[in-house]
Structure 1
Amino acid sequence: MTQSHSKSRQTAEIAFNSLQAPFFAKNHAMDELEAITQSRDAKTQRLREARQAKELADQAAATSALLAKRNPMR
């Protein structure tokens, strides 16, 4: 069932929608930026944890090598 509205109502709705479109576009853009920021922060955290784990493993390997060099018979 279609409703027919007066010409002035149709004009008003078109004007209202044209004002609302930029508002919703701005919100959508902000949501996209927030998603990008969260994604970047998550990746940075993963890389930081991987780097710290590698540094810890390298430090342990260096310590083991130093101890093996110091006491070769043990």
Structure 2
Amino acid sequence: MVGIGGLGHLALQCLARWGCEVTAISSSRDKEEVARGLGATNFIATKGTDELRKAAQSFDFGCRHTTDRRGAAAPRAS
């Protein structure tokens, strides 16, 4: 799950309850404790680290929440 704030925390909880192994991705370690408390199995900080590059091949499915140009919520899966 890329992004812990906003709707990201709800998606993280749902995925964890469905039994998924969830990796939370955030720019810094500031939200790691919160993410793990919501059910994240793993946590990756991206700013100033190469953790994401190292873990890139380990993902089966990606989920992120974005906003389109009009500001409307646009959930994405990749």
What TM-score range do you get, normalising by the shorter chain? under 0.3
For normalisation by structure 1, the TM-score amounts to 0.20
Question: Which structure carries more helix by proportion?
Answer: 1
Question: Which structure carries more strand by proportion?
Answer: 2
- Which structure has the higher relative contact order (CA within 8 Å, separation 6+)? 2
